[in-house]
Chain A
């Protein structure tokens, strides 16, 4: 790693707010030596260690998986751990908490309203066979094509960047926001789920998914490539088609059953090679 003197000096303008002492947030500057590869999250740690131990933000995994560290970096909602400082700027960085959420402290937004919207979409498999869900005895059938309908939207890490970027959320707190709507679609198209009717009331309100006019910002900022904007449009189509009865009601897929007793291997399918470890497969 390069030495301190070879590093870039990047000024971090950080929006600070202490609920116990400040009436309103204020900007503070910190000069951070930045070697190549240093992330914004590392920069915040540097500030905490060297300048001000009271700086507050959320993080956990440091690898773009937990979704804790989303913040507004140079005007764009993104993950601090997933953003290298020199990729954004060689001189100055403005860092603020995600907009459209109340600020708890410094860079810590209150994500609770987002999670409340998420819960209102019933983000779980809705089926009649509750006993099987609670005490599973097997797996539900699903083809590769059925999986591809929703797998993109399962990548969501609930970081909240999409709501910070959404212009509809900016003016309408009752709009569920891209995350919750995308998750509603993720479950509605799952071949194991039968809950479209049950989610309809939460989706189709005067402040529901038709408030989206495709600004597309959620998809632009999503750090996981989830594309919530696409999910919302597909959800709109599903809702309209189901109202107009243009789609046949699909029954949720059933449990996988094993091979038929006494079934024989088809002649063109070769048998698996013998076990290479002695004793393996004995229990089978």
Chain B
């Protein structure tokens, strides 16, 4: 029997967020990608803004005046938060990708109920979240309260 037309069923971007009832590491993955894209966007903006010096002092000053607004302050904070998370999670991923025993464990014959490398790396994941949260709080305090 010839097959009829098949129906596409790839999740696409939705699969990053809600692929089902899955676990925490999936959301770390998604956040890593989103923060990476955010930082890339900031980097492009940063280059463009600095480029404005080419057009003289006035254009630079007028741009800087825009960045004094609260909306940009929040944007700056978001970039900082994204950086904090992306950096710590990046270290976690490097440790995992080096296949270190404390990061992913050693291959073992599976015995039910199965334990996997997820259980081994979980402490790293928790440390990433705590370290990023701490840095974000300190950064927020510095930016909004002390107003640097």
Answer whether A and B are interacting partners. yes
Given contacts A152-B107, A152-B108, A152-B109, contact A19 B7 (CB under 8 A): yes
Shortest distance in angstroms between B49's beta carbon and chain A's nearest beta carbon? 30
Give chain A residues whose Cβ lies under 8 Å from the Cβ of B8.
102-103
Question: In the complex, are the beta carbons of A237 and B23 less than 8 A apart?
Answer: no
A209 to B29, CA, bound (A): 15
Give chain A residues whose Cβ lies under 8 Å from the Cβ of B138.
none
Interface residues on A, range: 35 or more
Shortest distance in angstroms between A104's beta carbon and chain B's nearest beta carbon? 6
A19 to B4, CA, bound (A): 5
Question: In the complex, are the beta carbons of A234 and B110 less than 8 A apart?
Answer: no
Question: In the complex, are the beta carbons of A171 and B16 less than 8 A apart?
Answer: yes
Question: In the complex, are the beta carbons of B9 and A227 less than 8 A apart?
Answer: no
A75 to B15, CA, bound (A): 12
Q: Is B76 an interface residue (CB 8 A)?
A: no
Q: Is B55 an interface residue (CB 8 A)?
A: no
Give chain A residues whose Cβ lies under 8 Å from the Cβ of B109.
148, 151-152
CB-based nearest B residue for A230:
B117
Give chain A residues whose Cβ lies under 8 Å from the Cβ of B59.
none
Question: In the complex, are the beta carbons of B9 and A100 less than 8 A apart?
Answer: yes
Residue positions of B touching A, CB distance < 8 A: 3-16, 19-23, 25-26, 28-30, 32-33, 93, 96-99, 103-105, 107-112, 114, 116-118, 121
Q: Name 26 interchain pairs, CB-CB below 8 A, sorted by A.
A: A19-B3, A72-B20, A76-B21, A99-B11, A100-B15, A101-B9, A110-B6, A151-B107, A152-B107, A152-B110, A155-B110, A167-B11, A167-B16, A167-B19, A169-B15, A170-B11, A215-B29, A216-B25, A216-B26, A225-B116, A227-B107, A227-B114, A233-B103, A233-B117, A234-B99, A236-B99
The 10 closest A-B pairs by CB, nearest first: A170-B15, A19-B4, A225-B110, A225-B114, A237-B99, A215-B29, A230-B117, A75-B20, A102-B6, A219-B116
